[in-house]
Amino acid sequence: MVDQRFSVSVHIMTALAFHKGELMTSEQLAESIRTNPTVIRRLVAKLVEAGLLESFKGKAGGVRLSKTAKEISLRDIYTAVCDKKLIATPDKEPSKQCLVSCNMGKLLDEVVNGIETNSMNYLSNIRLSELTSKIK
């Protein structure tokens, strides 16, 4: 199953940035994303916990960005909602009789760490405001 938490969270954050300070409900966001409001509420809770969103309860409640869109990077969003590495490495014990098997953990760790570092650097350089500015 493909993990969509990051892409859905970017959609949430972009919608909120586009609506510039307006409070939006999980129902409104779910309609935009075409998903269940419960999915939105789970992700919003993580984004609030990370300090990226403010949440207001009650009949006139909703959520909005707690920072400007220029201050929020895609890395901020990713680290708020994703708790796993981008690529999983095998966690099985290597076969002691096979030199390849004994070295694969170390070899793959180097590759995965490189991908992770490059990806996080890339996401750090993209601001939420850049995405919002491309909406026509």
Q: Which tokens is 1 given?
A: 């199953």
pTM for the full predicted model: 0.87
Q: Which tokens is 82 given?
A: 């994703």
pLDDT tens-digit series, residues 39-82? 999 999 999 999 999 999 988 899 999 999 999 999 999 999 99
pLDDT at 1 over 70: no
More confident residue, 90 or 12: 12
Counting Cα atoms < 13 Å in the Cβ hemisphere of 130 gives 9
Average pLDDT, rounded, for the chain:
93
